[in-house]
Structures are given as C-alpha cells and as structure tokens.
Amino acid sequence: MSADEFRRNGYKIVDWIANYFERIEDLPVLSQVEPDWLRRNLPASPPETSEDFGEIFNDVDRLILPAVTHWNHPNFHGLFATSTSSVGIFGEMLSAAFDMKAMLWRTSPASTELEDVVLDWLRQMMDLPDHFEGIIYDTASVSTMHAIAAARENANLDIREKGMSGRDDLPLLRIYCSEHVHSSIDKCAITLGLGTRSLHKIECNDRFEMIPERLAEAVEDDLEAGFMPICVIPTVGTTSTSSVDPVDAVADICEKYGLWLHVDAAYAGATAIIPEFREHFRGCERADSIVVNPHKWLFTPFDLSVLYCKDLGTMKQAFSLVPEYLKTNDEQTVKNGMDYGIQLGRRFRALKFWFVIRYFGREGMIERLREHCRLARLFASWVEESANFELMAPVPFALVCFRACPKGVDDLDTLNEWVMNKINTSGKAYLSHTKLNGKFTLRLSVGSIRVEERHLKKVWDLLNEQFSVART
C-alpha cells in the first residue's frame, strides 16, 4: 500500500470510527445475529488474488457490524461494563504501526522504559508503596497465573527443574481464595499443574466477603493433614457482587504462615486512585503481588493488565531463560521484558495507557470513576425505594446486584431471567446475572465512558415495563 493510499484509507477509517461513536446509541447493544450467521456469509476459502481495500472495508458495515456486541454502548451494563477511549484507540494505532515485540530492551527501548514509567505513575495514583514494581500482561487471568507461579517459586520446591509430576517428595500444594473468587483462579491452578484440588475455597459472610477466621482454620487443618499452603488470593471487587475481602486480616495470616499474598483487584483496583475509596484497599500495601486491569475501568482499550510485585526478582527467577540467540551484552544493566513471564515478544501496550493517563490526568480519571459509582448508588436507591425490587448485595463500587420480587410470585428466578432476556434481546440494554445464595440475581454494571444518568433511567424504565408485562 503506498503512503498516499494509506492516507486515503486511513482517513476513511478514522471517519468511520468517529461516526460509529456518534451513532452508537442507535445500534443494538447485543448483536442480533443468530449463531453461524457470519460464517455462512463468508467465503469458505481465502481469495487467490488481491482484493480492493475499498471493498474489504465495505464489508465491515455489511458483515462485521451486525455481528458486533457493542461494549462501547452506554447501555452495556453486563459483566463489567468497560469501554475504550479515543486516545486509547490512537495508542493502539501507533503501537500497531511500530509492531514492536518487546522482548529485549534493545529490540524495544521505548516499550520497556515507557512501561516502567506509566506503571510507576499508576502505582503512585493508587497510593501503593514504592517497593512495588509492575509488569504488563494481556489479562488478569495471565497476570494471576504468573503471580501463582512466582508464589510457587518462592516455596523453593525446585519445580523449574523437577516439575510436579512423578515426584513423591511433593505434598499437595494449597492456594486459598474465597468461594466468590473469579474462575480464572481455577484455570490458573489447572494451567500450572496444581489441579483444582489445590484450591481451598473459604466461606464468605453475608456480605460475600472472605471470613478470615475460616481461612486461618483452613490453613491449620491443611498443615495438620500434611499439605503445603503457598498462597492466599483475596479479591477487592469480586466478579459476582464486587465484594471486598478483608486484605489486612488476610495479610496477618499470610505473615504468620509465610504465605504469598496475591490480591485480585482486576476490576476495583482502578478505584484505589480515589482517595475516599482507599479504605477498601487496606492491607494491599502488604501484598506480594496485586493485579489491576486498566482495560476494565481506566478507559484503556483491551488488553492491558498490570501485575505489581513486591519483588519482581522472584518472577525473573521463575521464568528467565536466555538462549544464545537472545544473549546481549547489556543484560546486567537493562530490563528485558521476556524475563518476566511465558511470552517472548510482548505488545507495546504501555503507549495507549500513557496516552490515556496524560489525556485525562489523575483528576479526570477520578472524576469519571466517582461519577460511575454515584450513578450505581443512584440506581441502587431506585431499587431500594421500589416495592417490586430488592438489592441482593451491598454496592461498594459501581455494580448493582438486585432482583424483581413482586408479592404473590412464587418463582422469582424464572421471572427475573425472563425480564433480563427480554431486555437483552430487545437490543436496548444489556444486563447479566449471577446466583447469590442460590437466587437468580440481576447485575447492572456502570463503567462506560459514555454513560449518563439518562441511560440508567432508561434501564429502570425498561425493567419496570417488562416487569409489568410479565405480571399480566
């Protein structure tokens, strides 16, 4: 593609994206296509000869757009509502242009050093102590997998060389988390060869928070049974309800038994930048590692997850392996990203985050997060004031768990599921669900950069409307 052609097409794409954001509210939040629709509409084999870019691009409107669920839509309230920002898109464009594989400092000085700088900025904004050093991975699942690998390395079991299979000198290793932990922790245990039986899930109180006394008992019981506790993973902002495990009390137990403390703050970690939210993070300063996802709630396009470690050296010890063709004469003095995980090449993700932090500034980010939390509390107040709905969990951040509970209806699970599906298939808004104490619970997450009070009012009206339809 010539530079002129690149310019022409590039301007068209930027125009298209600008129009997309302008008309996003007219698009259905959830894609309305049936499974297999796109596949059926695409040729089964690749083109033999070159196609005109104009035609390729036209197919975005014709084929791709109908099959897009719009995470950027202000009425996307399912799962955790996350959205990109325009500056974040610019960061992605430039990083694609550089196409850096940040493995060694010398193959990517900009990526390596910018990553250190922006992660230190975020650390300061989150008010974490300066002994924390960060590293960027793609997702929280992968960040936590590396954290558990570091915890295992820290236990000095020689697993790097000997592995875990065929050994009779290795007791069952134990990792502790609450019963509300994200499923990625189970997957980490599977991936690392620990197996799901290594996970000990600790009971929660009626606010869905891990009970530290139960944790201490579990560790004692496991030690007595000859198992080897290595790590505890409290969550600040659990996925189902955004509840907060008592990190400080968990840290006491970790200190007593010499266990690695990894905090999963993938969702709510962003709010540590807001001074009045810091109480939720009490004890995080004592952690060995903490994961926070700027791609969830800091307006950074997917993907960008940050793992902070008290001693990144343990990660290096677990993963560094330098073949001849990657040896350099500066390894003692520079940081080579490939030393801190399973990947060799790493995307230049720090660039988009640098753009985002500079464009919004700390105050701009705080202001938006505060507004999301205010909107969630407002929605929760409507739920509380209504005789037909009830809150199912506290609202510490910007997630509301609730359900319809009209008098005289026996099967509330079916009613709530019906209402949710009606709203979702209408394309007007998207809600998701969880089960709390066995009860079908609706989840409304506020996190889009475009969300305003009128969008929540719209969902509230839709809920009341559908609920009246369901009753008739």
Residues near ligand PLP (CB under 6 A): 80, 139-141, 182, 184, 235, 237-239, 264, 266-267, 293, 305
The nearer residue to ligand PLP, 83 or 466, going by C-beta atoms, is 83
* Closest approach of ligand PLP to the CB of residue 230, in Å: 19
* Closest approach of ligand PLP to the CB of residue 290, in Å: 12
* Closest approach of ligand PLP to the CB of residue 451, in Å: 18
The nearer residue to ligand PLP, 80 or 319, going by C-beta atoms, is 80
Token pair 């990792």 is at which residue? Answer: 175
User: Would you say how long the chain is, in residues?
Assistant: 472
Phi, psi of 14 (to 5 degrees): -60, -40
- What is the C-alpha separation between 263 and 260, in angstroms, rounded? 10
* Closest approach of ligand PLP to the CB of residue 162, in Å: 29
* Closest approach of ligand PLP to the CB of residue 419, in Å: 23
The nearer residue to ligand PLP, 75 or 305, going by C-beta atoms, is 305
- What is the C-alpha separation between 33 and 419, in angstroms, rounded? 20
* Closest approach of ligand PLP to the CB of residue 144, in Å: 7
The nearer residue to ligand PLP, 216 or 291, going by C-beta atoms, is 291
The nearer residue to ligand PLP, 353 or 467, going by C-beta atoms, is 353
Q: Which residues contact 263 (CB under 8 A, 6 or more apart)?
A: 233, 234, 235, 236, 247, 284, 287, 289, 290, 291
The nearer residue to ligand PLP, 305 or 336, going by C-beta atoms, is 305
Q: Is the dihedral of CA 30, 32, 34, 37 positive or negative?
A: negative
* Closest approach of ligand PLP to the CB of residue 139, in Å: 3
The nearer residue to ligand PLP, 266 or 456, going by C-beta atoms, is 266
* Closest approach of ligand PLP to the CB of residue 271, in Å: 13
* Closest approach of ligand PLP to the CB of residue 235, in Å: 5
The nearer residue to ligand PLP, 83 or 293, going by C-beta atoms, is 293
The answer to whether the beta carbons of residues 134 and 122 sit under 8 Å apart is yes
The nearer residue to ligand PLP, 119 or 463, going by C-beta atoms, is 119
Tokens of 228: 């080897």
The nearer residue to ligand PLP, 91 or 269, going by C-beta atoms, is 269
Tokens of 442: 């609706």
* Closest approach of ligand PLP to the CB of residue 76, in Å: 14
